[in-house]
Amino acid sequence: MNALPVRLLVLEDDSSLSEILCESLSERGHVPVAARAIDEALDLLARTDFEVALLDLMLPDGSGLDVLRRVVEEDLPMESIVLTGYATVDTALQAMKLGAYDYLTKPARVEELEVLVQKAAEKARLRRENLSLRVRLERQEPLPGLVTQDSEMRTLLETVERLAITDLPVLVTGETGTGKELVARALHQRSPRSTQAFVAINCGAVPETLIESELFGYEKGAFTGAVTRKPGLFEVADRGVLFLDEVGDISAQVQVKILRALETKEFYRVGGMRSVRSDVRVVAATNKDLREEVASGRFRQDLYYRLNGVTLSLPPLRERPHDVSLLAHHFLERFAPGKRLSRRAVEALQAHAWPGNVRELQMTMQRAAALCQQDSIGAEDLALRREPARDWTGAATRAGLTLDQLENQYIQAVLAANEGHRGRTARALGLDPKTLYNKLGAARPRSKSPTAPEGDATRD
């Protein structure tokens, strides 16, 4: 059969069965990725686009139905085939009701499996094409999932649109939590490669010894433990996008191999003698300064140029003053629809430094939504503990703040950092508490003269 190769997730805890399945699938030119437990399967689903999942039902850490539910709930453009023992046909029928494409009773015959996989993959491809068409038609303007009002971000997103249709490698830089992965996914979604996989690997999180076999796969017997051939992510991402996250953490040895794979569009599996072709577009991300890494010899210059067709630098949240409130409301709508943010809360959010950027803001809103019992979320519900912003001048200039506004923001930030405790805030600011009370005038109904000079409010 000269059908297209199919990317499969094979969830099966019985290692010999998993081996047989993976081997017969790769013999037919498919790309199976094995998972032995639910956790592992869910993790793979989050990082990799598959066309078909083969799901065993009874696993040590739960039921394969949980994976099926995730696929259905998130409306992933893939199809699931359930593997079942004779005794669990009832469960298989339940799986069909949940949205499985079909089921196979073990032991499955290879021909039967192949036919089913092909049919399921065809259906999955149609769904994916519809989906990418919909994404492209629906929202011509903003990129999916990306909320912003900041002019620098908007310009950057326009660049993403223009880059999407090219095949240039893109390097996304920015502090942690600024949205690098979101931008990488948006680029894929808007590109002609959107009908193929987006495959992500966090190079900083994979142990150095494993990263080569993750990227390039290995042959059966390449090392102890390599009981079956495993495809690498370069294969899984063939014709799609490979997202190399935290690319600055890759060792020199693996850097060479990536460079070669990108230059020749070919690579060898670990322990392999035959080269494998793969056509991937690489999007890399880092929160390090890669040029500095190059200068200090930790990152290869040739690979840097290879990855850096274009650099997209995401500004930190503290330099996007209009985005803080917009994103806060966006997340609130998601986590607690109907709840409001008090004015003080918005001020505290705006004054915060956001070292964790959008991710930190998202967590803050999620926590506040969960903990706050009232309809209106106050500044204290946000529990912002960190240090106030350090780069005040930069942010203030960009936001065009007056001195009074800047002073007010700074006071609010220190107040928020001290959980609304005015005595401690006054001490932190080096102010007499009365002076602070005066400066906060509006918030104190009994204060008659908010602008009174120091020492004048003693009777208040």
User: Using CB under 6 A as the criterion, which residues of the chain lie in contact with ligand ATP when the complex forms?
Assistant: 145-148, 174, 176-182, 287, 327, 358-359, 362
Amino acid at 229: R
CB 146 to Mg ion: min, Å? 14
Residue closest to ligand ATP when measured from CB atoms: 179
Alpha-carbon distance values, 15 to 87, 214, 228 (Å):
20, 19, 10
CB-nearer residue toward Mg ion: 275 or 313: 313
Of residues 293 and 380, the one with the C-beta less far from ligand ATP:
293
- Single out the segment in contact with Mg ion by CB under 5 A; choices: 94-102, 123-131, 175-183, 420-428: 175-183
Locate 76 and state its tokens.
């992933």
How far is 172 from 133, CA to CA, in rounded Å?
25
Helix, coil or strand: residue 60 = coil
| Distance in Å, CB of 63 to ligand ATP, minimum | 28
- Give min distance, CB of 179 to Mg ion, in A: 8
CA distance 425 to 411: 8
Out of ligand ATP, Mg ion, none, which partner does residue 146 contact, by CB within 5 to 8 A per kind?
A: ligand ATP
The answer to whether the beta carbons of residues 25 and 10 sit under 8 Å apart is: yes
Name which of 243 and 267 has its Cβ closer to ligand ATP: 243
Taking contact as CB under 5 A, which single stretch among the options 159-167, 180-188, 305-313, 369-377 is the one that binds Mg ion? Answer: 180-188
The residues near 122 (Cβ < 8 Å, ≥ 6 apart) are none
Out of ligand ATP, Mg ion, none, what residue 226 binds, judged by CB under 5 to 8 A for its kind, is none
* 150/380 with CB nearer ligand ATP: 150
Beta strands in 279-398 (DSSP E): 281-286, 310-313, 340-341, 376-377
Tell me which of Mg ion, ligand ATP, none is bound by residue 424, counting a contact when its beta carbon lies within the kind-specific cut-off of 5 to 8 angstroms.
none
d(CA 378, CA 344): 7
Among 66, 122, 181, 432, binds Mg ion (CB under 5 A): 181
Q: Using the minimum distance from each CB to ligand ATP, give the nearer residue, 178 or 364.
A: 178
With CB cut-offs between 5 and 8 Å by kind, which of ligand ATP, Mg ion, none does residue 401 bind?
none
Closest distance to Mg ion from the beta carbon of 200 (Å): 8
Q: By CB under 5 A, tell whether 23 contacts Mg ion.
A: no
137's CB contacts (< 8 A; 6+ apart) are none
Contacted entry of ligand ATP, Mg ion, none for residue 438, CB cut-off 5 to 8 Å set by kind: none
CB of 183 to Mg ion, least distance (A): 10
Q: Rounded to an integer, what distance in angstroms lies between the CA atom of residue 137 and that of residue 84?
A: 40
Nearest distance from residue 202's CB to Mg ion, in Å? 7
Dihedral sign computed on CA atoms, order 112, 216, 233, 59: positive
What are 397's two structure tokens?
Answer: 């200039």
d(CA 454, CA 382): 31
Residue closer to ligand ATP by CB (options 32, 177) is 177
> Which entry of ligand ATP, Mg ion, none binds 359, CB below 5 to 8 A by partner kind?
ligand ATP
Of 187, 412, 219, 210, nearest to 284 by C-alpha is 187
Interface residue list for Mg ion (CB under 5 A): 181
